Structure 1
Amino acid sequence: MEERLRKLKKAMERTVFDELNFTEEHKKKIRNQIRMQKPEASEEEIRLSIFQLLVQKRTGFELSRLIRARGIGNFEENEGFLYMSLHQFEQKNYLNTTWEEPDVKYYQLNHKGMKVLKALEKKSEGRARILKEMVER
């Protein structure tokens, strides 16, 4: 979990949840319901998240963990899908990859990948603006 989320969790535990008491069984049922309701992200949302996170050099494991932190659970049962996507991006020459330490592969967007990221973000912003206009009418 990212540091800012940890701080938020601690702050909420001290204030918002201070007066709430749940049994372990109740907590378990709530967690299961949340997992079951988690909608899968679209391929475009996944691609945007991957590209945003790969502005910095990361391993596949780090990337997987950060994607889950964003609430995208598509890879929880099939992490091979993430590595398959990374391989495709590498083949399309969107990523620079390096091997460091014994057997640790790092991924990072290159210039071509940054152009794709900007296009994905622009497209995403357009959709968000349209939804906002629809809601405000």
Structure 2
Amino acid sequence: MEDRLKNFKKAMKTTVLQELAFTEEHKNKIKRKISQLSTPSEDDVLLAIFQLLKEKRTGFELSRLLRARGIEKFENEEGFLYMSLHKFEHKGYLHTYWDEPDVKYYQLSTKGLKFLKYLEYEGYSKAYFLKEILER
């Protein structure tokens, strides 16, 4: 089987792929488009945070679960995540719980659950709600 694959690869190089040539500019355009497609928007990040906080979670757990969803926005900026959580808490979207002396848990409040329903409902503008939460 392996020999057949090697022969196929060799045949492709000498026929079809031989005629293909990409400039560096073209390669960079393709890379930019791929990264744009794979980078979630801010409203998608907000939606993911609120969906994950239906259950009580620590900031560390939340960060890990966001990474599992492909959201790496907070990878090297965990402080930004905690600032956002604090802002959501201050606005009444989250309840916080201290279970152990050094472990803080976050969970959506009733207001946060209502807000999540708005975010999940397609008829509403996510950008409006994002602005509502983050700028006030």
Pairs within 5 Å for 1:1-137: 37=35, 39-123=38-122
Distance 1:94 1:126, change over 3 A: closer
Matched position secondary structure for 1:123: coil
TM-score, normalised to structure 2, is 0.62
Question: What letter is aligned with 2:42?
Answer: E
Contact 2:118 2:124 in 1 (8 A): no
Offset of residue 100 of structure 1: 1.2
Which digits, 9 at most, give the CA deviation of each residue in 1:75-120, with x for residues without a partner?
Answer: 1121111111101100110011011112100000010000000000
Q: Which 4+ runs in 1 deviate beyond 6 A?
A: 124-127
Taking structure 1 as the reference length, what is the TM-score of the superposition?
A: 0.61
CA distance in structure 2 between the aligned counterparts of 1:124 and 1:89, rounded to whole angstroms: 23
- Would you say how many aligned residue pairs link Structure 1 and Structure 2? 93
Structure 1 unaligned regions, length at least 5: 1-32, 128-137
2:121 counterpart SS class: helix
**TM superposition shift of 1:124:** 7.9
Q: Distance in 1 between matches of 2:122 and 2:80?
A: 24
Larger radius of gyration: 2
Unaligned runs of 5+ in 2: 1-30, 127-136
Deviations 1:24-68 (A, max 9, x none): xxxxxxxxx9xx947432211111000000000000000000000
Q: What value does the CA root-mean-square deviation take over the aligned residues? A: 2.4
